[in-house]
Amino acid sequence: MSTATTRHDDRRISSVFLAILAVMAVTGWAVWSDFAASPGLAIFLFVTSAWIVSLCLHEYAHARTALHGGDITVGAKGYLTLNPLAYTHAVLSVILPVLFVIMGGIGLPGGAVFIERGRVHGRWKHSLISAAGPLANVLFAIVCTAPFWLDALDGVPVPFQYALAFLAFLQVTAALLNLLPVPGLDGYGVVEPWLSYHVKRQIEPYAPYGFFVVIALLFVPAINGAFFDAIDALMRALGVPELSRYCGSNLFRFWEDAPEICLV
């Protein structure tokens, strides 16, 4: 096996990721304990740092699955260190999704780690590599919503419930968007190995624009309504009250006045 995959430094968790994790832990404690002078600011910092952690885990899942699928170069590229600065497109992977959360409160799928697909043999392996990222978001959403669907909210402070609900909403939106079978998104990566060579060649020129087409379509009222109806149904299935998500979203935007019903 190549030394690139066995060197300890290639898999050591980066100090950048650990710093983000520390911010998440400290601000999460501030939300839980009501220690912060501004609960909204604490929720903003907690949700934002946790969102970045989930983006790192999303990309790590792609890279780790690719490593086991045959691409032994991912270690040398820094993809196994959870360092967001190591991604091929740091702007698309971290900065743009964070800006979308701040501006619109939606979990935007990021990208990407560069996988050398020629090293991976077998259609199932290619599909699993693409699916691994959104599945990381799904698992993150399940963890965030566990207190709700386990009916274990006793003792969980209300502001922390709101923060978890909004964070889960971001994970669900990111997973659903990313699983769409649109060129440029992971959902297309899942089905692409099973398409004929002719079909793939026809679609290939449009792949760089698929992501932006999806974002543009979300501004179409009918499509936007259908999308968020699906998100609301998924959130209800996970036991998260609409009020909790609504208040989490409003308190997250601490620079705006939160509705009185959300003030605790």
Annotation says 59 is catalytic? yes
Q: Where are the alpha helices (DSSP H) in 70-206?
A: 90, 96-104, 123-149, 158-178, 186-191, 197-203
Distance of CA 69 to the CA centre of its chain: 22
Element (H, E) at 65: helix 39-69
With contact defined as beta carbons under 8 Å apart, do 169 and 108 qualify? no
Which tokens belong to 122?
A: 């077998």
State the helix-helix crossing angle for 39-69 and 96-104, rounded to 10 degrees: 140
Distance of CA 44 to the CA centre of its chain: 16
Catalytic site residue from 59, 116, 192, 260: 59
Give the whole-angstrom CA distance, residue 71 versus residue 132. Answer: 15
Which tokens belong to 123?
A: 């259609």
Length of the chain: 264
With contact defined as beta carbons under 8 Å apart, do 208 and 170 qualify? no
Burial class (CB in 10 A: 0-12, 13-18, 19+), 56: buried
With contact defined as beta carbons under 8 Å apart, do 43 and 252 qualify? yes
What positions carry a catalytic annotation?
A: 59
